[in-house]
Amino acid sequence: MAIVARRYLVRGRVQGVGFRYFVERVAASSGLRGWVKNLDDGRVEVYAVGTPEQLSDLAGQLWRGPRWSEVRGVEEQAAEVVRLDGFGIRG
């Protein structure tokens, strides 16, 4: 099965509501590798490596977010595959 990478930029009320921890839990439980971090402009950036099906599932979860979040948009971009171990929070 093909391994691909995606970069997601999530906007809305996504900082200060546990969004990064939500993404870390969802991605790790799906077997994805990568990271999630807050950006200075209020968005959250997610980099994930996995199968197209795993990434499609993640994208759906990004739109849902944790309980107190309010996702207003998810921009998805193809990205270069980087070898990483596990999934973690940066910054």
pLDDT tens per residue, range 14-65: 999 999 999 999 999 999 999 999 999 999 999 999 999 999 999 999 999 9
Catalytic residue among 38, 67, 72, 90: 38
Residue 50 CA to residue 27 CA, distance in Å, equals: 10
Stronger pLDDT, 82 or 1, i.e. the higher one = 82
Tell me if residue 20 is catalytic. Answer: yes
Average the pLDDT over 57-76 and give the result.
97
- Cα 11-17-20 angle, rounded to 5 deg: 70
Q: Is 25 assigned a catalytic role?
A: no
Q: What domains are defined for the chain?
A: 4-90 (3.30.70.100)
Mean pLDDT of 3-21: 98
The predicted pLDDT at position 91 comes to 77
The structure's pTM equals 0.96
Catalytic-labelled residue, pool 20, 25, 67, 83: 20
Q: Are 38 and 83 in contact (CB under 8 A)?
A: no
Q: Which of 4, 24, 5 is nearest to 65 (CA)?
A: 24
| Residue 69 contacts residue 14 (beta carbons within 8 Å) | yes
